[in-house]
Structure formats: C-alpha cells, structure tokens
Chain A
Amino acid sequence: MLYALTAPLLDACVLGVLAQGDSYGYALTQQVRTVVDISESTLYPVLRRMQKAGQLETYDRPYQGRNRRYYRISPAGRAALELYRDAWRSYRAGIDELLGGEEA
C-alpha cells in the first residue's frame, strides 16, 4: 500500500462503514484493514474519541454466553459523514486533476 491514511480520513471510513450497518470492534477493524493497512491498535482510540464526541453510540448484545459491544452511528455522526464525503469528493477530484491520465 503506497498511500497512508490520515486521521480524518480514518474517522470518515469508520463512519462510512457504520453507516452501512452497526458493527463491533473486531469486525470493524477487519473491514477497514481490507482497504487500509492500519495497525491493530489504531482503531480503539479512534472509536473512543468519536464516541465521546457523540458521533457513535454503543450497545451490548449477548453472544455465545458473553456480551458483545456494538457501535452504531449517531445522527451527529451521519452529519459528520456528509461533511467528510463532500471534502473527500473535492479532494479526490483535485488529486485526479493533478495526476492526469485516464478519467476515473
């Protein structure tokens, strides 16, 4: 992987994944890691921070005799995701322009 993920983009990715459906720590991390090579320990502080900022909520569901904590995107999180999407579209368009070559 050539390009490293910036912190805001990681936040955006987490919100994007959760917007498609609630998830839990392990599954969430694996999904993000299919695209981006983040370290395993990266995601917890990010999730915690977004939870404290009110962009995510957590709830527990029993699973195989124990509780599993799920993350759910909040309305504030959806609003933030929209901003991230707009910013990403502009950014991507700008990079494409600089790089030139075939149209995406």
Chain B
Amino acid sequence: MTQAQFLRALKHKLRGVPASEREEALRYYREYLQDAALEPKADVTPLVGTPQECARGILADSLIRQERGAQKAAEPARSDGGRVMLGVLMLPVWLIAFAVLLSLGVSGAGLALGGAAALPAAFLMVGELGQALVVAGYGLLLISVGVLLIIGTAALWRLCVRGAAALLRRKGAKHEEEH
C-alpha cells in the first residue's frame, strides 16, 4: 500500500470521528511518512502498519471519550423518584391546564353543533329563502369556528403532554443531582 493509498484509507476509516480529530490523525501520519523519507510509491505497511490498525487505536480513544460524555448526559435522566415528586407537585398546574383545554374543546364542540343545528333549521323555520341562506351561512361559520377550536385544542393538548414529559425527564434529573 502506498503512502497516498494509506492516507486515503485511513481517512475513510476515521469518517465516524469528529473532523478535528480526523485531521489531527491524518496530519500526524502524513508527517510521519514524510519524515520516514520513503520512495513515493513504496509500501508503507512495514513502517506504520495497516490503516485498520492505526484507525483502531484512534477510534477506541474517541469512543471512550464519547461514551463518557454520553454517560454524563444520560445518567441524570433516570431518576424515577424525582419524576414522581415533580408530577405530584405540579398537580394544580395539570388540573388548570386540563380545565382550560376541556372548556375550549367543549366550546368548540358546542359551536359546531349549534352551527350544524342551524343549517336545517334555517330552511325549515325561516320563511324567506334569502334570510334562510344568511342563517345557513352563519351556521356554516359556526361549524368551521367550532371545528377549528377543536383542532386547536387537540394540538394544545399534545403540546402540553410533550412539554410535561420533557419537563419531567429533565427536572427529575436535577432533583436527583441535588440529592
């Protein structure tokens, strides 16, 4: 394997490593081979080994450091006690949020139903066609507003749930750290 082939292969094997690390390693071996003053097409394996061997050491170090970093970030998120405690403390907030969402949803449903009821009523009860159409129009408007409200409520609900989950995951961790 020539110098150029070696460096190319090493670069490929290190593609999973952060760019700065990869560049440092390639620079080291490039200079090493230059200092060894080989013929450009000479086989470098007796001098530096295979790209596989070289990459192995670098990857191992990189993985060890990544794992340690990941451990530090992951550990805090495993406190069940903290999570339960937080959930209980935030009960009033959950109740208020639930009440607000419920009322919004019910209002939306009410509007939609009212609008739906107005449609046939418009034609059955109102004498003049023109006025009936106007009432029907209002009915449709109510339906759309109601439906929009329901959709909005559902979206808000999902947002609250996700926010609560994220909060419990993080805050539960901080609670654990304080203890």
Chain A interfacial positions (CB closer than 8 Å to B): 24-27, 29, 39-42, 44-45, 47-49, 66-69
Alpha-carbon gap, A35 to B46, bound state (A): 18
- The answer to whether B53 has its CB under 8 Å from any CB of chain A is yes
Whether A44 and B29, one on each chain, are in contact in the complex, defined by CB atoms closer than 8 angstroms, is yes
With contact pairs A45-B58, A69-B27 given, residues A25 and B35 touching in the complex (Cβ less than 8 Å): yes
- Chain B interface mostly: helix
Whether A25 and B57, one on each chain, are in contact in the complex, defined by CB atoms closer than 8 angstroms, is no
Whether B49 and A39, one on each chain, are in contact in the complex, defined by CB atoms closer than 8 angstroms, is yes
With contact pairs A26-B36, A39-B49, A49-B61 given, residues A44 and B54 touching in the complex (Cβ less than 8 Å): yes
Alpha-carbon gap, A69 to B56, bound state (A): 22
Whether A25 and B31, one on each chain, are in contact in the complex, defined by CB atoms closer than 8 angstroms, is yes
Whether B35 and A45, one on each chain, are in contact in the complex, defined by CB atoms closer than 8 angstroms, is no
Whether B35 and A41, one on each chain, are in contact in the complex, defined by CB atoms closer than 8 angstroms, is no
Contacts of A39 in B (CB 8 A): 49, 53
Whether B31 and A69, one on each chain, are in contact in the complex, defined by CB atoms closer than 8 angstroms, is yes
- The answer to whether B98 has its CB under 8 Å from any CB of chain A is no
Nearest CB of chain B from residue A17's CB, rounded to whole Å: 16
- Mark B25-63 against chain A: 1 for CB-CB distance below 8 A, else 0: 101110110111000000000011100011011101100
Whether A41 and B28, one on each chain, are in contact in the complex, defined by CB atoms closer than 8 angstroms, is no
Q: B residues 47-87 with Cβ under 8 Å of A?
A: 47-49, 53-54, 56-58, 60-61
Nearest CB of chain B from residue A83's CB, rounded to whole Å: 22
Chain B CB within 10 A, most for which of A26, A27, A68: A26
